[in-house]
Structure 1
Amino acid sequence: MSDSRQAITEDQWRRAALIWDYHQMHHQPRPADVAIGLGSHDLGVAAHSAELYRAGLFPTLVFTGGNSPTTAKVFPRGEAVHFREHAIELGVPAEAILLEPKAGNTGQNVTLSREVIAAAGITPTRVLLVSKPYMERRSFATARRLWPDVEILCASEPLELDDYVKSIGDARLVLDMLVGDLQRVVEYPKLGFAIEQEVPKDVHAAYESLIRAGFTSRLIPS
């Protein structure tokens, strides 16, 4: 077991891998009118957005995100600003990037980016969302609720769970985030924030098991 997984049992890891796979939409990359890189603590979102741009999948890229307690120290000028700078370093022309620097949650990522896209004179029929790997499903469900008249595709760095944990360096934090995002997939449709997603029984059982094991730091406060 790698150092980054020392505190995780094999059973917990197997359950986490089920949730990891469920969170990904497994969409095939296709050309889109615009892409939206969703701000977070993970600079890999910017890197993968740049890779997809260089592959010719879209002509315009929006980076969205202000700050959160998780990212304020890492990206002091805001997630979108730092993501934009990283993408430019990786070869994306500055003129191809639009900036949305205020969003504080996924719903705002979608709605405020939509306003920025409209202000740029773009009327998309297909939008590509680029996110952390475990955020694909939640971002998809949110965008389908808030922007139902466009086709939504999802993309993220093609990493296995073990590789992602190594890139973050904190296995427990990653498992906490997997559990927290799944809770939001389940609960947010009830609040009108997202469309409902079917959760397979084995995935839901894995989720409940990890909650019992204490992977709860990213759960919605009750």
Structure 2
Amino acid sequence: MNKAENILKTIKNAVFPRFCVSCRAEGRLLCDFCNANWQPPSISLKNVVDGHLASFNYADPIARQLICAWKYHYDQSAWEHLKSKLRPGLANLRHIVHARKIEAVVPVPLHNRRLCERGFDQAVEISKFIASEMDLPMVEVLTRNRSTGKQAEREVEERVQSMINNPFVLKSYSATKLPTSILLIDDVFTTGATAKAASEILQRAGVKNVMVYTLAKGK
């Protein structure tokens, strides 16, 4: 960080002070004390339910607020905190990936309009991180041709209904065929409707095994 960036950061922190999402102490998004005492459950084989695996419980207020700070405000410090808590469980995830013979990581894409509003695609960022840690390729083979709105603001039944007409389509893929075993990645798993819709498109294209990984599970 150069001198100008340091000055801008100091001004920003003075005008918009940061508070810990847990104890509300001023200074950081997650203070050292709360960070040290926050111990999300580790990834393990027993956490795999119906082909889905998550690192955090969305009911955990710290996890939820960090995800929201990153997702809706592009707060990179939130993403760094989340990654630091993901890393201890990556050895177990690597074992699961190997056992399932996963060949590639595929992000669940945002619609272009949502991508323009947000400025980045959180599923792509998660996928890049996991792909790098698992030494797997990330392949962006899906596109979303219809906006389904903000799923976080919908009730359970509305989320399911929004996926009845599948919003995903397969991109033209340059390789001779898709990988046969894929790790599908998104940020939050609630009803599973989004993951199911994306999985259906992949399976129609010949993918035999789709395992789903999300940062968090739950409403």
TM-score normalised by length of structure 2: 0.35
Higher-strand-fraction structure: 2
Higher relative contact order (CA 8 A, sep 6+): 1
Please identify the structure whose Cα radius of gyration is greater. Answer: 2
